[in-house]
Amino acid sequence: MNSILDAILLGLIEGLTEFLPISSTGHLLIAQHWLGRRTDLFNIAIQSGAILAVTLVYRERIHGLIVGWKQPDQRDYALKLGVAFGITAVFGLLAKAMGAELPEQVWPVASALVLGGVFILWVERRVAGLPAVATVTWTVVIAVGLAQVLAGVFPGTSRSAAAIFAAMLAGLTLRTRAAEFAFLVGIPTMFAATGYEFMRTLTQPGAAGAEPWLELGVAFAVSAITGFAAVKWLLGYIAGHSFVPFAWYRIALGGVLLAGL
């Protein structure tokens, strides 16, 4: 029973933090420091639960991209999403092949939380006063793709934060549009990452039998439900506010963790 409760808690943490710029993977690894380490498949697959939620939130936008393929603006946007995902996939696989793994200690995550918070404050100061630009350029596409790779290599960075702030630095200064592009690129990225880990688990002797599939399913469902509520709230919040409070939260949490090590 405790294992199911742990799975529910991890699903709640993932759903609430996936789209906030505070690092869902970082929070999961911190929680697992006390609850017990989970497999890479578990950590990645429950993120796909939250990504399923954002798919539902943006279902009309996604439908428009699919049925409006013949419209130049829709085709251009879809192509840019595809290229950003392609950059993430290629360099992400290279990083995986070079041995990139989730850390087992807290300090790398805590350090990334602090550094990421400082980075957010710097970005917000840099874009303050600039006109709100909603155009997704090819510079934005490349920046978002590479930022997602960076977040995968350094847990605690936050995939959504890295993508959003890379987009803003590259000129997509309208926060809601930067978040939309980052979240939409995250859909194929996380589903592909889950598929990769799933196939790797099936091909490793004994790995499939050792995976707690029921707990994974529970955490996935909880993550999807809470993720839907979180992303709806965030999109409303950033329409009139900056990301500065999240930066201070990251710095405070990372500082507390580093002080306690």
Tokens of 7: 């799975």
Tokens of 186: 């995250």
Please give the torsion angle defined by the CA atoms of residues 147, 95, 107 and 105, in that order, rounded to the nearest 10 degrees. Answer: 140
* Alpha-carbon span 205 to 232, nearest angstrom: 41
What pLDDT does 1 receive? 56
46-84 pLDDT, tens per residue?
A: 888 888 999 999 999 999 998 988 899 999 999 999 999
167-226 pLDDT, tens per residue?
A: 999 999 999 999 999 999 989 988 888 888 888 888 888 878 788 899 999 999 999 999
| Amino acid at position 68, single letter | G
Question: Does the pLDDT of residue 45 top 70, yes or no?
Answer: yes
Tokens of 165: 């702030």
What residues make up the domain containing 120? 2-260
In terms of Cβ atoms closer than 10 Å to its own Cβ (0-12, 13-18, 19+), residue 137 is middle
CA distances from 153 to 8, 99, 146, 159, 210 (A): 26, 10, 11, 10, 26
Question: Does the pLDDT of residue 104 top 70, yes or no?
Answer: no
Q: Number of folded domains in the chain?
A: 1
The three-state (H, E, C) secondary structure of 163-175, written as one string: HHHHHHHCCCCCH
What pLDDT does 27 receive? 87
| Amino acid at position 233, single letter | W
